[in-house]
Amino acid sequence: MKDSKFLTIDEALKKGGNVSLRGWVYRERKSNKFVFIVLRDESNIIQCVISKEKNPEFFEDAEKLTIESSIKISGTVRKDERAPTGYEVSPVSDLEIVQIAEPFPITAEQSRELLYDNRHLWLRSRKLNAVLKVRHTVVGAIHEFFRSRGYYEFDAPLFQPSMSEGGSTLFEVKYFDNDKVYLSQSWQLYAEAGIFSLGRIYNMGPTFRAEKSKSSRHLAEFWMAEMEAAWMQLDEVTEVAKDEIRFIIKQVLKNNRKELEFLERDISLLELYEKAEYPTIKYAEALEILNTKYNMDVRWGKDLRTQEEAKIADHFKVPVVVTHYPVEIMGFYKPPALPDNPEEALCFDMLAPEGGLEIIGGSERSLLVDDMIQRLEADGEDPLQYDWYFDLRRYGSVPHSGYGLGVERVIQWICGLENIKDAIPFPRTMTRKKP
Ligand code: 4AD
Ligand code: MG
């Protein structure tokens, strides 16, 4: 098989006829006369039939094959209704065993935790293979979305001297001998410096939050895709966010139908989200809907809880942008809606339907140095740490806005995953840091 040109299984299905494949044993079944191998590679699976009568030279070797053994195999692709994907390689003309795998630790009935312990092996599962292909599309779509609209990619440090999203979720890192820094909670504060040079910028990078929660929607290390734009205000930035989500869904529908079908995702819903207009409502209107339509009792001044976000999202059945949350529960940089509604912040979240996941958070940025100093002090922060940030308000200040999109949240929603841990190759949470 030395000189063979190897095809992926998908390429072989397209071409038909005689093919050479290489991959791993996904399943195997033996009878007296046959060894049935389901071969797996990055593209698909296909059954290969090795026959005692026709393949005497390697039939005995084939009998030794175990799950995840690596092999090269040649033969003829044929339609066969009984095979798992409707096609099989039969007859097989050649088999080369690359390695006989040791007994694979993952079998059909596995606890979730064992799957996470064996994440390095579980990545081979068809489920994660499908999710990772969707992830590839989502990440590519985000770059394409911003680059095609004239945004520059701009990088910020991951070691940062202070918080941006609240001190309670900071990861502290020893910095040389006697100093400390924090892992980035957001690219934003540095992006606010970048826009004075580049105008409109974006980034996608690792983000760290010491979330002391075991929820199915929080990671300690996740990827955030953020944008920041000079001169942009709340009404405009929320429309950019809606366009970005529609574009991501469009690209996933274009490239990943097979994966979505494998994941049993309701594709008609994604087709709806690709085309739909997404409503924008104020926090106050969200409360009214919750309290009048759903008999809940949510008071002004509280952040929306998961179940409340879920109700709002289900109410609209498409992604919904909620703006003007109470200033008192918002980050120091989210400005009050002056002059008429100082208790409301010029900020927004986007909630995804089918569960109410917060997939995006953003805002206009405060230009009021004194107000920010007060709010930082109220949170126990040292405003001196932010003096460079306040410079951005001292030297040619302009209105500006931005937002951050949780990449794994978007993947979780698009793929219909129960847990966000399956949206990233190696999840990190309060209780999981290995492998
Ligand atoms: O709403 P957040 O905290 O906003 C910011 O960090 C802003 N500085 C972003 C900006 O304006 N540039 O986070 C943004 C998004 C959330 O809406 C959520 O989708 C995701 O990041 N996110 C998380 N995803 C997974 N695990 C976590 N622990 C997350 N925390 C936030
Ligand atoms: Mg948020």
Domains parsed from the chain with CATH numbers: 9-99 (2.40.50.140), 116-423 (3.30.930.10)
Residue 216 structure tokens: 């199915």
- Which pLDDT tens digit goes with each residue over 181-240? 999 999 999 999 999 999 999 999 999 999 998 899 999 999 999 999 999 999 999 999
Q: Which residue's CA is the nearest one to ligand 1's atom 6? A: 186
**Alpha helix ranges (H) inside 289-341:** 306-316
262, β-bridge pairs: none
pLDDT greater than 70 at residue 120: yes
Helix (H) / strand (E) containing 79: strand 70-79
Q: Which residue's CA is the nearest one to ligand 1's atom 24? A: 406
Q: Give the number of other CB atoms < 10 A from CB of residue 402.
A: 26
pLDDT greater than 90 at residue 4: no
Find the 178 Cα to ligand 2 centroid distance in Å.
33
225, β-bridge pairs: 204, 405
Q: What pLDDT shows up at residue 107?
A: 86
- Residue percentage of the chain with pLDDT more than 70: 100
**Separation in Å, CA 31 to CA 55, 94, 130:** 14, 19, 31
Alpha-carbon distance of 94 to 179, in angstroms, equals 63
Task: Provide the whole-model pTM.
Answer: 0.97
Closest ligand 1 atom, residue 357 Cα: 19
Residue 173 structure tokens: 């890192």
Alpha-carbon distance of 182 to 170, in angstroms, equals 6
Q: Which residues line ligand 1 (CB under 6 A)?
A: 164-165, 186, 188, 209, 211, 218-219, 222, 224, 226, 358-362, 402-404, 406, 408-409
Alpha-carbon distance of 156 to 403, in angstroms, equals 15
Find the 164 Cα to ligand 2 centroid distance in Å.
12
Helix (H, G, I), strand (E, B) or coil at 1: coil
Q: What's the pLDDT band for 108 if we cut at 50, 70, 90?
A: confident
pLDDT greater than 90 at residue 1: no
Cα Rg of the chain, angstroms: 26
Burial of 135 (0-12, 13-18, 19+ CB in 10 A): buried
Alpha-carbon distance of 85 to 391, in angstroms, equals 62
> Whose CA is closest to 104, among 129, 68, 71?
68
Q: What is the mean pLDDT of residues 92-96?
A: 97
Average pLDDT, the chain: 97
Q: What pLDDT shows up at residue 2?
A: 64
- Which pLDDT tens digit goes with each residue over 124-156? 999 999 999 999 999 999 999 999 999 999 999
Q: What are phi and psi of 132, to 5 degrees?
A: -65, -30
pLDDT greater than 80 at residue 72: yes
Count of helices and strands (H, E) across the chain: 14, 18
Q: What's the pLDDT band for 83 if we cut at 50, 70, 90?
A: confident
**Separation in Å, CA 415 to CA 65, 260, 304, 319, 357:** 33, 7, 24, 15, 13
Find the 196 Cα to ligand 2 centroid distance in Å.
25
Q: Which residue's CA is the nearest one to ligand 1's atom 20? A: 406
Q: Which residue's CA is the nearest one to ligand 1's atom 11? A: 403
**Separation in Å, CA 25 to CA 37, 179, 433:** 6, 51, 29
The residue whose CB lies within 8 Å of the most ligand 1 atoms, and thus the one to mutate among 224, 363, 405, 409, is: 224
Q: What is the mean pLDDT of residues 9-24?
A: 97
Write out the residues surrounding ion ligand 2, Cβ under 5 A: 361
Residue 195 structure tokens: 């826009």
Alpha-carbon distance of 191 to 200, in angstroms, equals 9
Q: At what angle do helices 126-148 and 407-415 cross, to 10 degrees?
A: 120
Least confident of 39-48, 74-83, 197-206, 238-247: 74-83
Q: What is the identity of the amino acid at 332? A: F
Q: What's the pLDDT band for 109 if we cut at 50, 70, 90?
A: confident
Alpha-carbon distance of 101 to 64, in angstroms, equals 10
